[in-house]
Chains A and B, each alone.
Chain A
Amino acid sequence: MSSPIVDLVPPEMIARYEPVIGLEVHVQLATATKIFCGCPTSFGAPPNANVCPVCLGLPGALPVLSREAVELAMKAAMALHCEIPPVSRFARKNYFYPDLPKGYQISQYDEPLAVRGWVEISLEGAARRIGITRVHMEDDAGKSIHDGFKDSDRYSYVDLNRCGTPLIEIVTEPDMRSSDEAYAFLTELKQVMQFVEISQCDMEKGQLRCDANVSVRPKGAEQFGTKAEVKNLNSFRFLKMALDYEIARQVGVLESGGRVVQETRLYNPDTGETVGMRSKEHAHDYRYFPEPDLVPLRISEEWRARVRAEMPELPAEKRRRFIESHGLREYDAQVLTATRTLSDYYEKAAAAAGDAKAAANWVMGDLMGALKAEGKEIAESPVSAGALGELVALIGKGEISGKLAKEIFAKMFSTGEAPAVIIEREGLRQISDTAALEKIIDGVIAANPKQVEQFRGGKATVLGFFVGQVMKATRGQANPAAVNELLRKKLG
């Protein structure tokens, strides 16, 4: 979708400018309970069911910080290579809204949980680090529902189930220079958050939300331009489209002699445009001050070390290892580290197979193909990683042919049985036993004197005919290499 304004700004004009982009990303932590009370965070409960005096903001109720939420936030900070200072502090962010029952959000302000980190993105083969300014914790507000009720023309409804859900806000440095970089950053961030199991990052459920600060400057200029904050970027596609629109809009404004105004703009996915919000709506003075109901959050060396010890290997590290010590191609390493489940599966299969490259081919080829055909996720695979590895190992040991392995795999996929079970039951073990093969080969030679004549007469291609006959006689179980060797000996 493109929009009229963007179409009016020619690409060569846009190309004279360099966009400067920073993101503010909210990630919902995958805790079982809310950040300041014991209410469940489960999605889809009836409205106002998962609530208590604390998250309802009733008079006298007090917040108590969830340790689980802090540990997930610490893991997020570690995954983003941030420093975690020994003390951080919560602060109140004050504003009125019907779905904010306390009249303030408990957030962090001048002493956040973590600072100074980075995320590496790779775009067209070139790696770049995007700086992370800070990571802080906060509680989510509830949800206001403005339509869908028969009296929606007069009333809004408020559901406070989400109120008090733990969030982290990740703020980047203004380090991105294109919408593609922003897209790549958010993709990498989401992958890391899922990998470390910090969040499911389901954008439709609001578990990952993104705002962008955008400005443009003439290429080569030192000074940043005036930025606009673009909100409501609720999918990866919208992020890219909104950024492209906003970059073109700002270039258009500057090229026509105007000035970019510092403001908050809302992306409208229906029109593909960003629209300035009335200044009154965003002229908030949040009157931050330290939250007196909570003591400062102190993170000891021991606590930090314990959480660090629980950290899994990050996807980027895994990719590097897959390339360097497993000998995978970069593309394959990318595919196999897309999710934690997939990479765990692959590593288990590779270990059982004893051949990491062959295991990679089987996982990405046959397994993912079969899963895709049935619309299944890797976690639902009927073939366990161990079983797939075993199958690959059998090929490596020459006990079954690659062709036979494919048939066995199909059976494994439909029955969930181990390869050995299928091979045993169906008598599919490859015949490498020379004595047994010699007997069969002798029979084939004896039955085809004409072809023996042809071969001995110099027609080398007839060998293929003999191999085929032997295979037929063994129902494909003969070891092809052994058959070839024996045939040459006997015919030659």
Chain B
Amino acid sequence: MEIASFTIERVQQGLRAREFSAAELAREALRFAEAENPKTNAFLHLCPARALAAAARVDEKIARGEDPGPLAGVPVAIKDVIVTKGVRTTCGSRLLEHYVPPYDATAVTRLEEAGGLVLGKTNCDEFAMGSSNENSAFGPVRNPIAPDRVPGGSSGGSAAVVAQGTAVVSLGSDTGGSIRQPASFCGVVGVTPTYGRVSRYGLTAFASSLDHIGPFGRTVHDAAVLLGAIAGRDPLDATSAEAPVPDYTAALDGQVKGLKLGLPVEYLKNLTSETGDLIARGVEVLKKQGCEVREISLPATDYAIACYYIIATAEASSNLARYDGVRYTRRAVGADTLSEMYRATRGEGFGAECKRRIMLGTYVLSAGYYDAYYLKAQKVRALIARDFSRAFEQVHVLVAPVSPFPAFKLGEKIDDPMEMYLSDIFTITGSLAGIPCLSVPCGKTAEGLPVGMQILTRHFDEPTMFRLADAFEKAGGAAGL
């Protein structure tokens, strides 16, 4: 089996033709992941028992002549901030090194109901805070395309396993670009759906009003199938949307002629020339397909980073309070009083980036500063959302770069938080507005580093986003010029 290049379609074909059973596929996928993982450190741990049990259920269904589901037999990797019953969920943190959740995230339940096989849990920045995967307590992930470079973050492991071929698809989480940026760095498709489209139940919270679960795939089609399986209203998440889930694969029809695309002028400055050139060529390809392109202004963009790092850190400071050493968190030893125990546990347990964000967030919510920071940031967030709704009065879709630069070297930016935060400059606006956006491979730099193109649409208009991305992918990306 050439499992490293399998798509969902290929898995289903193999199962239908009795070329292999789901159990055989699961065993091969586990073996391959185990053998290849040392190259990237993308998986933190595998869960063979769970994968094999799910495979057995798929094989039984096939034997009984039942529909085994749209993800039947598909090996899926899960970012380790998404909880899995009976399978360790560390969030990339020392504090949860031995934590085994007693329940499954809704997205995990749903993808297993659709026949998916949970292969294992992927590495990530601690509590999803970072843009390079270097903030993991369990070591960084190497980019499968260029092993001396980062895979992006925070869902670096989930992007890397798909690029490396050790999983067919994966789930990541995106708060400010944590799916799209690593997808761009690793040359795969990564989707941040509309806020509320996928239940957050079981997603360890970083910044609740910005957190999304979304899929990675080697093709737009695979990402669309996985999203279709996990999307939809969940009574366990009060912020999940009632809107019905369309068949996303039905949108992959190539009908992009006449689609109006907007290029945000604010995004096109400050690009490395290579990224800028690739995006420009990608846009030409879309024009050739019959899309109409015009420039669009999103004037509030300049305030997006400041706005994001206030709201996200404020929510994080509260969400991370529960890791206090009292219950499941690893507790520091030797403390004599309660407050000493809190300090020692959190002081030893959290990495530098988490501490930085907890302090920032605590500060912006403090009495006397709330109005100046948090409240003002909420107003800016509303302006950013307004920019997008105005843009979408003129165009169907926005096309933009994902990151100002391709994958950088391990260690290159880790000591400069501001430089690191700028990695997210083009992705956080979409997160703040809660609109669907994805990264689709656009092309490669002269050094062979992937560059992704970002496609953003209106709330719940995932079909148009997938339609354009699929047409672009089939045209060969920027190389299709």
Query: Which residues of A are at the interface with B, using a C-beta cutoff of 8 A?
Result: 53, 56-65, 92, 94, 96, 98, 101-104, 158, 285, 287-289, 292-295
Contact = CB atoms under 8 A, between A and B. Distances in A.
B238 A103 contact: no
Interface string B116-153: 00000000000000000000000000000000000000
| Residue of B82, B208, B320 most packed against chain A (CB within 10 A) | B208
Contacts of B91: 59
A451 to B, nearest CB: 88
B201 A60 contact: yes
Interface stretch (B95-103, B181-189, B391-399): B95-103
Given A60-B201, A62-B238, A287-B365, A53 B322 contact: no
Interface in B55-90: 82-83, 89
B20 interface: no
Interface string B350-385: 000000000000100111001000100000000000
A62 B237 CA distance: 6
A391 to B, nearest CB: 53
Contact of A101 (B207, B326, B338): B326
Interface of B: 82-83, 89, 91, 96, 99, 101-103, 105, 200-205, 207-209, 235-239, 314-315, 317-318, 320-322, 324, 326-328, 338, 342, 362, 365-367, 370, 374
A96 B342 contact: yes
A98 B367 CA distance: 24
Closest 6 CB pairs of A and B: A103-B321, A292-B208, A287-B365, A292-B209, A59-B204, A60-B202
Contact of A96 (B89, B102, B324): B324
Given A96-B342, A102-B322, A62 B327 contact: no
Contacts of A102: 321-322
Given A56-B327, A58-B328, A92-B318, A287 B102 contact: no
Q: Is the interface of B mostly helix, strand, loop or mixed?
A: loop
A20 to B, nearest CB: 25
Nearest to A95: B321
A60 B374 contact: no
Interface of A is mostly: loop
Contacts of B89: 59
Contact of B205 (A56, A60, A285, A289): A60
A53 B366 contact: no
Contact of B235 (A61, A64, A101): A64
A62 B321 contact: no
Contacts of B367: 285, 287
A289 B322 contact: no
A63 B238 contact: yes
Contacts of B374: 289
Contacts of B209: 292
Contacts of B105: 60
A59 B103 CA distance: 10
A294 B240 CA distance: 10
Contacts of B362: 287
B159 to A, nearest CB: 21
Nearest to B200: A62
B321 A61 contact: no
A54 to B, nearest CB: 8
Contacts of B239: 292-295
Contacts of B103: 53, 58, 61
A95 to B, nearest CB: 9
A103 B318 contact: yes
Contacts of A285: 366-367
